[in-house]
A and B are shown apart, each in its own frame.
Chain A
């Protein structure tokens, strides 16, 4: 998996500063506060998980990072720059990609077209071709179905396509929103294996996941979100051992 992007400087995990940081981020839908001051950090090379119950604000957090939602308070910093005032296209070109919740692929576009749209901001033909090769190496099932319409793929394949599409922009930070949602266990294994390979290739990952066990297994650190606030945070091993987490999210 080639992750370097021709027009973007390569950052290393060595510089010690967080790649992404949110400070006291507040977001409301109309009058309803969905995020009540979320602060978190993701460092280069990390896999960070965000867990929490339905409606805790996980999707809202990822959409806000991607600048798809306006924030009413707080700041978002990416690679040392304030990005709270920018639009989604700026985030994409800086190296952030989102895999939206619920396999939001483009059902009437072919698999290939779905991938090509993913490279929307990076039109360099050679890079696009190479990235398609890499994505199909990562998910061979996609390679076999390039001419098929996205909507005709199985649920698991659609999730693969959504991840592949996000990878087309050669992101530095990948935001994943519930990649295991409604997918058969066997395919979930495949998808998480792919996520590990993406991380090994040097992509930083912020993972939202309902499957807490899986999330804590794959990640280095994790945040627990509860009604729009960070309730707990720590290394994933610590959190997995935490009684409160076990009781609330691990069913034990």
Chain B
């Protein structure tokens, strides 16, 4: 069963109507193609209408849509199943909220890493809601170093409500783990491509988010804090999440406008969650373009440019 957010409701009834009309045509053997074409047309227009006027808060809701594809779905589609998942940080354990491994994209071997959310209630628990512990960041770094050793490009998929704020996470150095990743990613000698596919919450996102190309899918958010937490801290109430979402300028459009990400990847007209196959194809084409562009550069120059890019981020008088 698909889930519809409140502002998607008009689409739900149209889609239901289309399904019923199809069914009616099949069961009665009457040609409904004209009616169907008309309904499809209405649906398309309505979709355009709904998705063109999204507020920042609605984008945040879309980024968390339960039908949205998660990291492993992208990896599976991009590699056509040619993927070897690698586990563990070689020190404490295997973090299920962070996945990664070697994959083959149209004959090219790459390292794929990302936060992983669960696809149902049980798996959400198992994946810790996409909130990695330090072991997740250390596993990610181990895999990135492995990729560097064998001169393979790195692609990270960012989708996290934040690094896990638990007791053991603090004990085992959540701060140090994220810091180390940011520092090391800045210096990796291979191309690094980071794609925000859902939620990009703060340091937990940046911990796998330093790259030559940092790009956001259209209906995602990326900022220093979630709108809910921002509301609770700055407005001392949970009721200002929409206002906070506006104020933080966290949408892909605003982040691109402010030069904090390199590009926005458009989603299918009805969102990645309604049309994952199309989304996968778009992402795959982009990744291939980025890799061929970045591989032309000298590795030292690429690192220098990467550092310079982040050094340009900031506004002061």
Verify that A and B bind, or say they do not: no
Residues of B within 8 A of A (CB): none
